[in-house]
């Protein structure tokens, strides 16, 4: 038997005893299918063991392909074949590469249309391979058919370029290869353009980011497909079998080839391990597998970073280097292929740079040696000139080769600090150039503190990007506020940035707000030190320096106040206004916060959070105009709100005495926190309930729903519940809403003197939107809550939905903290936990178990993490002050929540 070995690996398969295998087939003690299965099982076990022992992954990948060659040879010869047919490996298998669960792409190539006997044998062969549980993809084609399909489809052409004969008539494969040359099909220019467009589309599907926290190791930027694209285009143009044949010919440097090889080795090892763990051809590096791979690859937790964070940091560093190399090599190929024979006009820019066509290049190779400042100048020039679409490959290489010139002396040189400030002040292209600087290794050299967070991840579901990718996205968001479409999506941010005194101060704060993450301690405070040093080094005036440092220190404040505190409380707003101090600080902080939330996780920004942020901004602006020495008086709000509501109710025809009777049972807090519009809505409905001659006083329950309009709480659906005050009401309502897949984002709870509770819940659907124009769903909410509240006297149901896959991997230990200030009438319970189905219902039942009375709630869900605030008292309606009781309650709450999380049903 003559086997066709891969060009990469030509050693014999010592682990596969072919003589024994042939004897087993010949002796017929077992069906052939079982003999093949036994061989595959033994090979899988053998190679998995070698992988776990650290064997070179290239050896394993090539040996696996060679082993399959051998099996296919024997499988092929289980049947009889005519002379003009052969079995070819195509795609990755055609390259002689095979991971544990990679697709096995096969082409059965015929010289002419196969006869009935050949078709029957083909069908039997394919069925045999399927019975072996091999992940095969197959096609049966003549040479002419192959060429027709390849001419129409670049993917087919690419697969066929890498075909090789495994068994059968080798002349057919040779004829196909001769017909597939660039002279006959897909010339180098067309091939390059098609593959480059294919790459752009693929990157677009991955959001153009190599830094997603669950990256696709094959298709994401910097992934294996990028390496293959370089291989395909270069080999097509230079007509070589392997990239190694191009060493010393100017396509890549020795360093670049080493990066390419070592990067592919790493990604292959990750992919090999991923396939083994998943038991399928999984290409996504899901959270489920990251921890296990980190352990298998020998990473250990340390004082500052988890093992999985260290592993993923290595991964991101490598794919970033590969993406940079992909840029360089494809730019080089663009120049030598698409621009071959084209005379590009050369336009001088200055003595250091010139424009060749639409790309910038250094005038001489010693440009950066003689003028190190040009390492920054080139990015400033690109930001200032929109006609410049990129950098010539030779110049990218020069930048990379000379980035070591950026040292402490370079960073303090006034010429360089001036250039960097010019970049920050440029009217366009800032985020594009900062991204380029990051990719070429310049930004991390010029700002070493930024270099330290490059590729740094946080192993949670709140932050979906690495710190550096998040930081650049923050700046990109800030710049987007200047665009025409921002007036619709971010109207207040667009208005603010249009009048901003110095937008570059906002960008600096964006660059530094998370710069100290991963160091331990409060990153907001630690980041101030770096931000202050930057401002001083770049000569910013004291006023600007103080503003930037304040923004870095307080960048989480506005988000926390808007989402965790009651912004309808004038005291909360006044305290926030005191911290802000003036409108300029408020403007900058608002713009930074909106950009930060959207760059942390785009799913966090919805109509509700936008509404909260806008309300806090507007309330604070009014407080600043009024003067911090003149805080709003609660009595003034009480009287004014009642007067407005009274006028609206009078216009509706409600009797004044009836209104006053209803209001007499409401506490002052209700009129302070609720708008006149809401009070009118509630009062009118309660009046109609009381006037209903059919009502049963013992079962008074009112459920109202509406979508908020412009005003206090636009951007959510309001659910108002008026019912007799009983211990289980909160549990019943939150369970009912949870069954409807509605997420509660705020809750306002009031008790009346007449023994009723008035609760308002602000909810969004699963996509983070209010239930606009969905009357049937609003009716469903009303009916469901009525049903749940009818059972409230003996309420025991807690919703049990499936837990999302990603959530299961992040067991966030619950935290509970109870605090009581001397002047408080309630204690404050803060719970931090992983979000999950039925969480609020579980918390409500914990309150019942421990005789805690709930008076108010502030619900805040941040990705898959909740940070909820509850205002509670003991059963005696007094704040909880006994330290021992507080500790007991905190421990019990955490234990019950964590036990609940551990017993949640899994999601398939």
Of residues 868, 858, 857, the one with CA closest to residue 835: 868
Indicate if the pLDDT at residue 8 is higher than 60: no
Angle at 524 between CA 523 and CA 529, to 5 degrees: 90
Beta bridge partners of 706: 718
Give phi and psi for 137, each to the nearest 5: -120, 130
The CATH H-level (homologous superfamily) assignment of domain 189-338 is Nucleotidyltransferases  domain 2 (1.20.120.330)
| pLDDT at residue 906 greater than cutoff 60 | no
Q: Does domain 18-186 have CATH number 3.40.190.10?
A: no
| CA separation for the pair 156, 293 (Å, rounded) | 34
Span 639-649, pLDDT tens digits: 999 999 999 99
**Distance of alpha carbon 226 from alpha carbon 239, whole angstroms:** 19
* pLDDT higher than threshold 90 for residue 566: no
Three-class SS state of 425 = coil
Tell which residue, 702, 736, 742, has the closest CA to residue 721. 702
Count of CB atoms within 10 A of residue 574's CB? 17
| More confident call, 396 vs 288 | 396
Classify the phi-psi angles of 63: left when phi > 0, otherwise alpha if psi is within -120 to 50, otherwise beta. alpha
Count of C-beta atoms within a 10 Å radius of residue 131: 11
Q: Which of 144-158, 346-360, 522-536, 718-732 has the lowest mean pLDDT?
A: 718-732
Residue 506 region by backbone torsions, left for phi larger than 0, else alpha for psi between -120 and 50, else beta:
alpha
14/137: higher pLDDT:
137
pLDDT of residue 55: 95
Quote the pLDDT of residue 309.
Answer: 87
Instruction: Please choose, from the candidates 127, 184, 136, 185, the residue with its C-alpha nearest in 3D space to the C-alpha of residue 156.
Output: 185
Please check the confidence at residue 340 and state whether its pLDDT lies above 70.
yes
pLDDT, residue 217, reads 94
Task: Give just the sign of the alpha carbon dihedral 705, 709, 714, 716.
Answer: positive
- Give CA–CA dist 484/503, Å, rounded: 17
Task: Calculate mean pLDDT across residues 582-605.
Answer: 91
CA distance linking residue 314 with residue 454, whole number of Å:
10
Mean pLDDT for the chain? 88
Check for a shared fold between 18-186 and 805-902. no
Structure tokens at 268: 């292959």
What's residue 11's pLDDT?
56
The rounded distance, in Å, linking the Cα atoms of 707 and 716 is 6
SS3 label, residue 675:
coil
Question: What is the DSSP code (8-state) at residue 373?
Answer: T
Q: Give the pLDDT score at 905.
A: 44
Domain ranges in the chain are: 18-186, 189-338, 343-428, 805-902
Tokens of 332: 């080089």
**Tokens, residue 429:** 């292209």
Least confident of 99-108, 460-469, 679-688: 460-469
How confident is the model at residue 902, as a pLDDT? 53
Q: How confident is the model at residue 868 (pLDDT cuts 50, 70, 90)?
A: confident
Per-residue model confidence (pLDDT) at position 102 = 94
Contact 330, 194 (CB under 8 A): no
Q: Residue 5's pLDDT is what?
A: 41
- pLDDT exceeds cutoff 80 at 708: no
Indicate whether 397 pLDDT > 90: yes
* Contact criterion met (CB below 8 Å) for 53 and 107: no
pLDDT of residue 739 exceeding 90? no
- Alpha carbon distance 55, 48 (integer Å): 10
Q: Which of 94-98, 139-143, 348-352, 872-876 has the lowest mean pLDDT?
A: 872-876
**What is the predicted pLDDT for the residue at 812?**
62
pLDDT per residue as tens digits for the range 52-75: 999 999 999 999 999 999 999 999
The token duo for 90 is 């195509």
Q: Is the pLDDT of residue 583 over 70?
A: yes
Q: Which CATH number is associated with domain 343-428?
A: 1.10.110
The backbone region for 406, taken as left when phi is positive above 0, alpha when psi lies in -120 to 50, beta otherwise, is beta
Q: What is the pLDDT of residue 908?
A: 36
pLDDT of residue 756 exceeding 60: yes
Question: How many angstroms separate the CA atoms of 699 and 796, rounded?
Answer: 19
Residue pLDDT, tens place only, 444-494:
999 999 999 988 876 555 666 788 989 999 999 999 999 999 999 999 999
For residue 141, the model assigns a pLDDT of 95
The whole-angstrom separation of Cα 225 and Cα 218 is 5
| pLDDT (0 to 100) of residue 746 | 83
Strands 756-764 and 717-724: antiparallel
Homologous superfamily, domain 805-902: ACT domain (3.30.70.260)
What DSSP string runs through 82-140?
A: -TTEEEEE-HHHHTT---TT--EEEEEEESS---HHHHHHHHHHHHHHHHTT--EEEEE
**Mean pLDDT on 736-764:** 86
- Provide the pLDDT confidence category of residue 7 given band limits of 50, 70 and 90: very low
Instruction: Tell me the mean pLDDT in the region 304-330.
Output: 90
DSSP letters, 568-587, are: TSHHHHHHHHHHH-SHHHHH
Q: Which of 444-458, 488-502, 682-696, 790-804 has the highest mean pLDDT?
A: 488-502
Q: Which of 632 and 244 is assigned the larger pLDDT?
A: 244
Do 477 and 595 contact (CB within 8 A), yes or no?
yes
Name the token pair of 258: 């080493």
Residue 904 pLDDT > 90: no
**486: Cβ contacts below 8 Å, ≥ 6 apart:** 480, 493, 494
Closest to 125 (Cα-Cα) out of 803, 114, 266: 114
Which residues have a Cβ under 8 Å from the Cβ of 515 and sit 6 or more positions away? 449, 450, 453, 471, 523, 527, 530, 531, 552
Is pLDDT above 60 for 164?
yes
Q: Could you give the CA distance from residue 467 to residue 675 in angstroms, rounded to a whole number?
A: 40
* Segment 172-229, tens digit of pLDDT: 999 999 999 999 999 999 999 999 999 999 988 876 566 677 889 999 999 999 999 9
Confidence (pLDDT) at 806? 54
Which runs of consecutive H residues, i.e. helices, occur in 791-838? 805-808
Calpha distance 496→79 (Å, rounded): 76
């Amino acid at each position: 038997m003559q086997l066709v070995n891969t060009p990469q690996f030509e050693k014999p398969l010592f682990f596969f005893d072919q003589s024994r295998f042939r004897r087993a087939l010949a002796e017929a003690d077992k069906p052939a299918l079982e003999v093949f299965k036994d061989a595959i099982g033994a090979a899988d076990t053998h190679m998995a063991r070698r992988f776990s022992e650290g064997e070179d992954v290239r050896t394993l990948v090539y040996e696996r392909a060679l082993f399959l060659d051998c099996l296919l040879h024997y499988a092929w010869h289980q049947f009889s074949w005519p002379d003009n047919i052969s079995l070819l490996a195509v795609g990755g298998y055609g390259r002689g590469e095979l991971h544990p669960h990679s697709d096995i792409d096969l082409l059965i190539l015929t010289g002419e249309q196969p006869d009935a006997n050949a078709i029957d044998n083909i069908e039997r062969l394919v069925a045999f391979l399927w019975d072996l549980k091999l992940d095969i993809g197959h096609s049966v084609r003549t040479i002419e058919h192959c060429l027709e399909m390849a001419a129409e489809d670049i993917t087919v052409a690419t697969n066929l370029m890498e075909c090789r004969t495994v068994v059968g008539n080798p002349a057919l494969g040779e004829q196909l290869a001769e017909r597939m040359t660039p002279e006959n099909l897909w010339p180098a220019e067309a091939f390059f353009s098609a593959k480059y467009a294919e790459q752009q589309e693929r990157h677009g599907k991955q959001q153009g980011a190599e830094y997603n926290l669950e990256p696709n190791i094959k298709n994401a930027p910097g992934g294996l497909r990028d390496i293959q694209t370089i291989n395909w285009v270069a080999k097509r143009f230079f007509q070589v079998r392997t990239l190694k044949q191009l060493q010393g010919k100017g396509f890549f440097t020795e360093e670049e080839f080493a990066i390419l090889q070592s990067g592919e080795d790493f990604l292959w090892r990750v992919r090999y391990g991923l396939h083994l763990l998943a038991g399928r051809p999984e290409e996504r590096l899901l959270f489920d597998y990251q921890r296990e791979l980190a352990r298998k690859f020998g990473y250990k937790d340390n004082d500052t970073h988890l093992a999985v964070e260290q592993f993923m940091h290595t991964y991101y560093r490598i794919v970033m280097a590969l993406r940079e190399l992909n840029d360089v090599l494809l730019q080089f190929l663009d120049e030598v292929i698409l621009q071959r024979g084209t005379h590009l006009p050369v336009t001088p820019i200055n003595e250091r740079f010139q424009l060749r066509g639409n790309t910038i290049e250094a005038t001489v190779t010693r440009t950066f040696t003689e003028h190190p400042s040009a390492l920054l100048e080139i990015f400033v020039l690109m930001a200032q000139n929109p006609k410049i679409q990129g950098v010539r490959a030779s110049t990218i290489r020069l930048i990379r080769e000379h980035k070591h010139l950026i040292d402490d002396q370079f960073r303090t040189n006034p010429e360089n600090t001036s250039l960097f400030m010019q970049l920050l002040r440029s009217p366009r292209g800032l985020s594009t150039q900062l991204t380029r600087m990051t990719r070429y290794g310049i930004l991390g050299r010029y700002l070493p503190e930024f270099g330290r967070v490059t590729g740094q991840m946080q192993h949670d579901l709140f932050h979906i990007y690495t710190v550096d990718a998040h930081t650049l996205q923050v700046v990109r968001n800030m710049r987007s506020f200047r665009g025409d479409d921002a007036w619709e999506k971010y109207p207040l941010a667009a208005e603010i940035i249009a009048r901003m005194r110095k937008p570059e101060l906002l960008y600096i704060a964006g660059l530094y707000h998370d710069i100290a993450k991963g160091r331990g301690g409060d990153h907001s405070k630690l980041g101030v030190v770096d931000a202050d040093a930057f401002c001083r080094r770049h000569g910013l005036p004291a006023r600007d320096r103080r503003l930037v440092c304040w923004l870095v220190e307080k960048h989480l404040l506005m988000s926390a106040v808007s989402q965790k505190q009651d912004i309808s409380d004038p005291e909360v707003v006044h305290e926030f206004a005191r911290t802000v101090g003036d409108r300029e600080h408020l403007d900058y902080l608002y713009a930074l916060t909106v950009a930060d939330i959207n760059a942390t996780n785009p799913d966090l920004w919805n109509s509700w959070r936008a509404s909260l942020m806008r309300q806090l901004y507007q309330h604070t602006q009014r407080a600043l105009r009024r003067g911090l020495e003149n805080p709003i008086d609660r009595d003034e709000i009480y009287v004014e709100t009642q007067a407005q509501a009274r006028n609206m109710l009078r216009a509706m025809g409600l009797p004044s005495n009836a209104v006053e009777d209803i209001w007499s049972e409401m506490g002052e807090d209700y009129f302070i926190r609720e708008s006149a519009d809401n009070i009118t809505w509630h009062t009118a409905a309660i009046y109609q309930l009381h006037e209903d001659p059919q009502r049963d006083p013992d079962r008074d329950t009112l459920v109202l729903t509406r979508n908020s309009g412009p005003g206090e709480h636009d951007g959510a659906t309001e659910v108002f519940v008026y019912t007799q005050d009983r211990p289980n009401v909160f549990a019943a309502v939150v369970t009912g809403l949870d069954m409807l897949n509605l997420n509660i984002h705020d809750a306002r709870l009031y008790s009346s003197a007449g023994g009723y509770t008035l609760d308002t819940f602000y909810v969004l659907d699963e996509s983070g939107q209010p239930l606009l124009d969905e009357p049937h769903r609003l009716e469903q909410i009303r009916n469901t809550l009525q049903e749940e509240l009818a059972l409230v006297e003996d309420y025991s149901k807690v919703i049990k939905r499936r837990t999302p896959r990603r959530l299961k991997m992040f067991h966030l230990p619950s935290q509970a903290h109870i605090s009581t200030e001397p002047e408080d009438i309630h204690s404050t319970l803060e719970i931090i936990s992983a979000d999950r189905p039925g969480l609020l219902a579980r918390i409500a039942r914990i309150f019942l178990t421990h005789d805690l009375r709930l008076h108010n709630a502030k619900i805040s869900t941040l990705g898959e993490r909740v940070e909820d605030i509850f205002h509670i008292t003991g059963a005696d309606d007094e704040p909880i002050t006994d330290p021992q009781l507080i500790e007991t309650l905190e421990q019990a709450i955490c234990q019950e929540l964590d036990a609940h999380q551990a017993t949640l049903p899994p999601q398939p």
